[in-house]
Amino acid sequence: MSKQYDDESRAEAVRQVIDRGYSFNDVSKRLGVSAQSLYKLVVAASPTRENELERENLRLKAELRRAQEDLDIQKKPPRPFPKSKGEVRVHFGAQEPLVGKAALPPSGGH
């Protein structure tokens, strides 16, 4: 005569093997079921657990990708936009700015 267990008891047996790391033999002896029956329960529950882990993994990868894109945007130097359609801006890199009279264009008549 076989024992009948409710869904909660079966789920607890599976959690003891998967989450808590107990061996099939230990759990099956405590519950009075065969190790083969317990193994079948764990295998039946495993795809659901794998799907949960896979979904979490995909979510974390997407979050990491968004964070990396945000960092890449922050690393790029700001691009100056022309104020008018015909304006051209010239950037000379890390040169020192001209200071004083040398920076002013020569005056016409003085």
Whether residue 107 is predicted with pLDDT greater than 70 in this model: the reply is: no
- pLDDT tens digits, one per residue of 32-87: 888 898 888 888 887 777 788 888 898 999 999 999 998 888 887 776 666 677 77
The stretches of the chain forming alpha helices (DSSP H) are 7-18, 24-31, 35-75
Which residue type sits at 100? G
Instruction: Say if residues 27 and 16 touch (Cβ distance below 8 Å).
Output: yes
Give the pLDDT band of residue 109 (cuts 50, 70, 90): low
Cβ neighbourhood burial of 13 (10 Å; 0-12, 13-18, 19+): buried
Q: Is the pTM of this model over 0.85?
A: no
* Phi-psi group of 100: left, alpha or beta (phi > 0 → left; psi -120 to 50 → alpha; rest → beta): left
